[in-house]
Structure 1
Amino acid sequence: MSDSGVFGGARPDRHDRASQKNAGANQPTAQLFCRDAVNVGGAFVPRPPLTYKEALAWLYSLQRFGIKLGLENIRRLLAELHVDLHGSCVIHVAGTNGKGSVCAMIDSICRAQGYRTGLFISPHLITFRERIRVNGGMISQDAVANGLTLIRDLVANWQPHPTFFEVTTALGLKSFAEAKLDIVILETGLGGRLDATNAIQSDVSVITPIDFDHEKWLGDSLEKIAAEKAGIIKPGVPVVCAAQRDEAEKVIRARAIACEAPLQFVTESYGRSAIGLPGDYQKQNAAVAIAAVHAAKIGIDEKAIARGLATVECPARFQKWDGKVIIDGAHNPAAARVLARTWREIFGDQRATLILAVLSDKNLRGICEALAPIAESVLLPKIRSERAADLEVLARVLSSITPSLPYSIPKCVGEALAVARTRPNPILITGSLHFAGEVLAYLRGEAAAFEECAQ
């Protein structure tokens, strides 16, 4: 923050932007007009604005383009939408596990000090609107509809067409730019180096613990995965990093040296006040969040830190729904091991009735190996996600690890919960953030509000 109290210039990364600067101006006038209009009886009339449901349907349809890592499309989008975060301090967070919690803590701490914040996270649990928050409040349905209508018309003839995550990122960043925020917190979607969020020039780069996940996209070794995550490190921009395994730490140090970026490893846990998220691992996340705020030179006092951490909300992170039900979005072996440790911290030797659903592209064996020791029995319900692992395959994996562990396959989430509640053990619902969202919607009596999304 400058002496005048205005945050320094966090703007879209200008690299390669010149070639896109006049992209719209170079298109024929008729083409520009036609993308915002439809031909009715030989006359062009404006395309009607999308409703919220129509806008989401269009956005979700973009998932057919899959995941395309790269920055050219998002840079073009941000340029043509005139997105400029000048005046906002941008904190960019990558890592395998803990990203969501760290982002939520930074946001909560800064709001407790009175700053206006923007928070961009993924995936959502119940509603798409969770992904984009201004001052703690979700983006409105009207803002989603209007923003996506604008982007739909803008990109109608683009080749290649922007992906679901590129459009979502552009919508979030445009919303933040229009809101004139003090601080913007961006969570990467996948990796870092070629993630759409990396098109923005950040003021601090944050890296949470790195482990195996998304190997198809990021590589089959910790070194390769760390290289992608460390791609958010930019020349001269401070880096705050959680404690890492040796292979990842070496890669991060090398990248920071190459970028002449000051690097701080946070190895101690925060313990000065209570944290609203349970588990010792959240004390480590809190220490990283506080270090990130300080590295950004954001003026924060101890009262705001304590208040922000005490009131932080991050659903599906060892979330206690009631006296018997715990919901956690652990979806890779490292996260499942942390979950099992946290379970023992809270429940000791008491075992869980485990309700488990995992996506098919995840390490089923690694997740089951971590969770089987804390389970008394397992329920494997059919869930709504089209990416869900085959239940018979998941059952065979479980049985091969612990043949004596009883399991059953309920036909839906509601049936699984009803069965689990008849048993004396506490209930642990885990395996996927998508699954956690479906469960939360059901428990809230809002099953119809669950906006299923593959990404």
Structure 2
Amino acid sequence: MEIKELLEELYSYSFFGIKLGLDNMKKICELLGNPQDKYKIIHVSGTNGKGSTSTMVENALLYSGKRVGKYTSPHIIKFNERIRVNGKEISDEKIAEIYSKVKEAIKTSDVKPTFFEMTTAMMFLYFAEENIEYAVLEVGMGGRFDATNVADGDIAIVTNVSVEHTDYLGDNIYDIAKEKAGIIKNKSKVIVGDENEDFLKAIYERKSEDKVINVLKKYKDVTYKLDFKNFRTNISLEHKNYSLSLFGDYQVKNFLCAYEALKMLNIDEEIIKKGMSNLIWQCRFEIYSKEPLTVLEGAHNVDGMNNLKKIVSHGYDSNQVVMIVSILKDKKIEEMLEICQEMSDNIILTSLKENKRGLSGEELLSYSNKKNMTVKEEMKEAYLYGQKILKNDENKKIIIVCGSFYTCEKFKNSFKF
């Protein structure tokens, strides 16, 4: 089967929808010989920061000489990004081989897996066959019923919580935090990066307070500076300096979560420094171009937009920023657009209509007061228009593409990144 045809078949499992519960995954893993039990697990949950935190842990472990697998979602350009071993994406050939094995294993059962369950089973099996030592698992959604949660995490990291996926997780911080805290197991060492009282209440119900490391409390003396020349985050912690190649205020909390996990795993300070210095993580204040300066940022919810605003406010006034924005319809669109207007006086709304959760630029405009907003439905047209604004206005310094990882994906595909 050609890889394109295979992936179309794999994506067809999405039609089974999201099913709460782990029965399917437990059955599939049993049929595969429980591959998830064959390596140590660093399990990462939270509303924002999961991907960055996971990548920091992965990179430092690789520098220490460990065999490491990482599982993340969604992918930006291609499916292979979701499953990595020793820093390399799974090959098309391995996707075909592993998919065939999982498909064959469930033939004799009554299991009808979702896309994410199928993909997670493939990841567990692939990691086992590659004899990894550590698996860094990013939760897909929530935690308690997420397909990854059939694994027993040696370390459980919950980065933070804000209100999202209310249809599945609840409509308040406490209920959502309870879902995300579901990755905490009896043997788990627990790290959190949030001080919200309702969040902590949910965490402590799962694991007693004296057994939870809150990095914001433990490392309250941390300081940092954003280097807008080189787009690095320079962090000072315990009289040591770390130059983080991921840029932004919010990356400091992610760093602290990763740092604590790496210390628990006895990774040397110098190795941690090296691991932090050359990280690459797509669409997290990613510099696409320096002429004109163009940044891709996957901010896809209110917290993400506020984090982006905080970064931008350090380096730019609103009259220096052009934004290209598209937001999914199940997000808090009005609030997110209001935050965009605080960052920029030139906002270009573009379409994600090809995505079943996407909206056109005109539809997005209807959620706003329309101030300083223009609609350019096609991504290429939007970017060319943004470049024109920068060329004609010497005050303008930067173009930011944001609102969803799908927005960044569309941008990259549009320009064959």
**TM-score (structure 1 length as normaliser):** 0.82
User: What is residue 230 of structure 1 aligned with on the other side?
Assistant: 181
- CA 1:86–1:202: 2 relative to 1, 3 Å: same
Partners of 2:177 and 2:203 within 8 A in 1? yes
- 2:327 is aligned with 1:361: no
How far does the alpha carbon of each residue in 1:301-334 deviate from its partner, in whole angstroms, 9 at most, with x for none?
1111111001111110011111211110011101
**Inter-partner Cα distance in structure 1 for 2:103 and 2:187:** 36
User: What is residue 287 of structure 1 aligned with on the other side?
Assistant: 256
The structure 2 residue matched to 1:437, chosen from 377, 384, 409, is: 409
The amino acid across from 1:285 in the alignment is N
- 2:261 is aligned with 1:299: no
User: What is residue 318 of structure 1 aligned with on the other side?
Assistant: 285
- 2:211 is aligned with 1:262: yes
User: What is residue 385 of structure 1 aligned with on the other side?
Assistant: 355
Partners of 1:90 and 1:185 within 8 A in 2? yes
Shift of 1:132: 0.2
Provide structure 1 residue ranges, at least 5 long, that are not aligned to the other structure.
1-49, 447-455
**Inter-partner Cα distance in structure 2 for 1:86 and 1:229:** 21
How far does the alpha carbon of each residue in 1:334-356 deviate from its partner, in whole angstroms, 9 at most, with x for none?
11100111111232555421111
How far does the alpha carbon of each residue in 1:53-95 deviate from its partner, in whole angstroms, 9 at most, with x for none?
1210111111111111211111111111124345522100000
- CA 1:292–1:156: 2 relative to 1, 3 Å: same
How far does the alpha carbon of each residue in 1:229-268 deviate from its partner, in whole angstroms, 9 at most, with x for none?
01111113210000231211111112112xx982110013
Equivalent residue of 1:122, what SS?
A: coil
User: What is residue 364 of structure 2 aligned with on the other side?
Assistant: 394
**Inter-partner Cα distance in structure 2 for 1:150 and 1:88:** 20
How far does the alpha carbon of each residue in 1:109-149 deviate from its partner, in whole angstroms, 9 at most, with x for none?
11111111000000000000000000000000001111112
Equivalent residue of 1:398, what SS?
A: coil
Equivalent residue of 2:367, what SS?
A: helix
Equivalent residue of 1:119, what SS?
A: strand
Provide structure 2 residue ranges, at least 5 long, that are not aligned to the other structure.
223-234, 391-395
**Inter-partner Cα distance in structure 2 for 1:261 and 1:169:** 32
Partners of 2:249 and 2:310 within 8 A in 1? no
Partners of 1:212 and 1:225 within 8 A in 2? yes
Partners of 2:351 and 2:359 within 8 A in 1? no
User: What is residue 404 of structure 1 aligned with on the other side?
Assistant: 371
**Inter-partner Cα distance in structure 2 for 1:193 and 1:432:** 25
**Inter-partner Cα distance in structure 2 for 1:358 and 1:335:** 12
Partners of 1:155 and 1:162 within 8 A in 2? no
Shift of 1:388: 0.4
The structure 1 residue matched to 2:399, chosen from 414, 423, 427, is: 427
Equivalent residue of 2:213, what SS?
A: strand
User: What is residue 132 of structure 1 aligned with on the other side?
Assistant: 83
Partners of 2:98 and 2:122 within 8 A in 1? yes
Shift of 1:372: 1.4
**Inter-partner Cα distance in structure 2 for 1:435 and 1:99:** 19
**Inter-partner Cα distance in structure 2 for 1:84 and 1:159:** 20
Q: CA RMSD in A?
A: 1.7
User: What is residue 26 of structure 2 aligned with on the other side?
Assistant: 75
User: What is residue 43 of structure 1 aligned with on the other side?
Assistant: none
**Inter-partner Cα distance in structure 1 for 2:169 and 2:183:** 14
The structure 2 residue matched to 1:274, chosen from 221, 243, 268, is: 243
Shift of 1:390: 4.2
**Inter-partner Cα distance in structure 2 for 1:417 and 1:170:** 39
**Inter-partner Cα distance in structure 1 for 2:187 and 2:95:** 35
**Inter-partner Cα distance in structure 1 for 2:361 and 2:287:** 26
Shift of 1:299: 2.8
**Inter-partner Cα distance in structure 1 for 2:193 and 2:103:** 39
- CA 1:308–1:151: 2 relative to 1, 3 Å: same
User: What is residue 414 of structure 1 aligned with on the other side?
Assistant: 380
User: What is residue 12 of structure 2 aligned with on the other side?
Assistant: 61
- CA 1:302–1:367: 2 relative to 1, 3 Å: same
Alignment of 1:21-420 (within 5 A): 50-86=1-37, 88-156=39-107, 158-257=109-208, 262-267=211-216, 268=219, 269=222, 270-271=235-236, 272-295=241-264, 298-323=265-290, 324-383=293-352, 384-399=354-369, 403-408=370-375, 410-420=376-386
Equivalent residue of 2:315, what SS?
A: helix
4+ runs deviating over 6 angstroms? none
**Inter-partner Cα distance in structure 2 for 1:86 and 1:199:** 9
Greater shift in the superposed pair: 194-203 or 267-276: 267-276
Shift of 1:405: 1.9
Partners of 1:88 and 1:182 within 8 A in 2? yes
The amino acid across from 2:387 in the alignment is R
Shift of 1:404: 2.8
The amino acid across from 2:380 in the alignment is G
Partners of 1:83 and 1:177 within 8 A in 2? no
Kindly tell me the number of residue pairs found equivalent between the two proteins: 388
How far does the alpha carbon of each residue in 1:160-183 deviate from its partner, in whole angstroms, 9 at most, with x for none?
510000000011111111111121
Equivalent residue of 2:161, what SS?
A: coil
Equivalent residue of 1:397, what SS?
A: coil
| Structure with the higher strand share, 1 or 2 | 2
Equivalent residue of 1:321, what SS?
A: strand
Q: Percent identity?
A: 31
